[in-house]
Amino acid sequence: MRFHALDGLRGLCALTVALFHLYEFMKVPSPQSIGHAFAFVDFFFVLSGFVLAHAFFDKLALKGGGWSFAIRRFGRMYPLHFFMLMLFVALEAAKWFAARHGVAMLAQPFTNENSLSALASNLLLIQALGVHDRLTWNFPAWSISVEFYVNLLFCVIMILPLRRPEGAETGAGDVLRRKTWIMAALAVAGCVGTIWATRDSHAAMSYDFGLLRCIYGFFCGVLAQRLRVGGLDPFARLSDNGIALGEVVMTFVTLALVIYLPWFWLFAIMPVLFSLLTLVYAHEKGPFSRLLLTPPLHAIGEWSYSLYLVHYFLLMHVFGRLASMAGKKGWLGLHAVPGADNGAYVAGLYQQGPLMVGVVIAAYLGAVLLMSSLTFRFVEKPARRYFNAVAARRDAAAEQPASLAANPAADLAARRAAARRVQAAE
């Protein structure tokens, strides 16, 4: 089962994060409505926990298959991260080549956030595990770094054998209950750790303490899914009209809290609110859910991972550089400012009045959507298909009874059935 309304909601949140980063790039005060959009990253963590628990909780806990799970997650997350990182590296290499031939640079290539040591940590997806004092290379990928390892933590816990004190194996229901309690303990530990980290309003809740945020949000999402399958979903007891009303109320309450809550409370309570929001949108019975199921918003939901990973590259190396060129050429009413970064030129456009504000935002979001559609089609989907096939072959080999080994037709049918199960889960 695929939660298409939640996909669409994730896509809109990714677009909002991209818009928030536009204002950060320009160093222009953002509208209050998106000033705390960084909190939507916690929604991504919650949704990841919810969806993965829906697809894999029972399977991993009762049947194992940890390596297949890890292969699928690697194929889902790493290829696009690697592709975008290589785009950044290619441009940094071009700057290095230009500097070697006498072109003046405001910052030396492969230094600071684009250092070679940071490149190594990004390749290993450990850049947000406290190894740097700043965000590096493709800045938004910090959340991919922590999410990947929290996904593996989830997998390890799910495949751990649980036995009774006398050594007898527990029943299936007992295993699921015990592992649910472990998930609850991790959610509480992540909450406590996050609150501890946010005691300092200047704490870096990304490259330093992002792992705590992810543990809190991800395992809240897992618990939300366990409530759903355990008959404890608070919205499941309502009529369809009640669920629709609950969706509207939860949406406006969540948006109001994201907009107005101070720093500390955003990190302290939003994963819980996002979990409730996930539960109500999973029913797909409210007016906003129906809107999210329309083809345009469904497409944005499909592209959400690409939206999140491509937008910073466009800001830094496409949108900003075009504005910088316009400033140096005197186009669009811009003027060259010695020592100004690319964001200053985009801000120069933005500050020319309401019409240009709309043009800047529309051009930026349009470019993000266009590039995301391309990376989704030519990077994400082929990579996911390949790694899912690898995982499916591994699952088929593990599930294949000895009697099938001598029957090629039955063996092929078993492999195809396993592949269909993997595709349905994804």
Spell out the domain ranges in the chain.
4-425
Tell me if 116 sits within 8 A of 102, measured CB to CB. Answer: no
| pLDDT value for 346 | 85
Least confident of 68-82, 190-204, 367-381: 190-204
Residue 420 has pLDDT above 90, yes or no: no
- 425 band by pLDDT with thresholds 50, 70 and 90: very low
| pLDDT value for 219 | 97
Q: For residue 318, what is the DSSP state?
A: I
> Rounded mean pLDDT of 60-70?
89
Residue 186 has pLDDT above 70, yes or no: yes
> Rounded mean pLDDT of 48-75?
92
This model's pTM is above 0.85? yes
Q: pLDDT, tens digit, for every residue of 206-238?
A: 888 899 999 999 999 999 999 999 989 999 999
> Rounded mean pLDDT of 387-413?
71
| pLDDT value for 352 | 85
Q: How far is CA 419 from the centre of its chain?
A: 25
| pLDDT value for 173 | 80
Q: Is the dihedral of CA 304, 308, 314, 319 positive or negative?
A: positive
CB burial readout 25-56, b (16+ within 10 A) else e: bbeeebeeebebbbbbbbbbbbbbbbbbbbbb
| pLDDT value for 152 | 96
If you average pLDDT over every residue of the chain, what do you get? Answer: 88
Q: pLDDT, tens digit, for every residue of 278-336?
A: 999 999 999 999 999 999 999 999 999 999 999 999 998 898 888 888 888 888 878 87
**Any residues with CB less than 8 A from the CB of 173 and at least 6 apart, and which?**
none
Least confident of 103-107, 174-178, 211-215, 315-319: 103-107
| pLDDT value for 165 | 47
- 338 band by pLDDT with thresholds 50, 70 and 90: confident
What backbone phi and psi angles, to 5 degrees, belong to 202? -100, 10
| pLDDT value for 369 | 96
State the Cα–Cα distance between residues 179 and 165, nearest whole angstrom.
Answer: 16
| pLDDT value for 353 | 87
Tell me if 183 sits within 8 A of 223, measured CB to CB. Answer: yes
- 141 band by pLDDT with thresholds 50, 70 and 90: very high
The secondary structure of 263-278 as a DSSP string is HHHHHHHHHHHHHHHH
CA-wise closest residue to 143 among 230, 217, 239: 217
Q: pLDDT, tens digit, for every residue of 343-389?
A: 888 888 888 889 988 988 999 999 999 999 999 999 999 999 999 99
Least confident of 267-276, 353-362, 391-400: 391-400
Which residue, chain included where needed, has tokens 């949140």?
A: 13
Q: How far is CA 242 from the centre of its chain?
A: 30
> Rounded mean pLDDT of 137-163?
91
Q: Is the dihedral of CA 312, 120, 212, 29 positive or negative?
A: negative
State the Cα–Cα distance between residues 143 and 148, nearest whole angstrom.
Answer: 8
- 172 band by pLDDT with thresholds 50, 70 and 90: confident
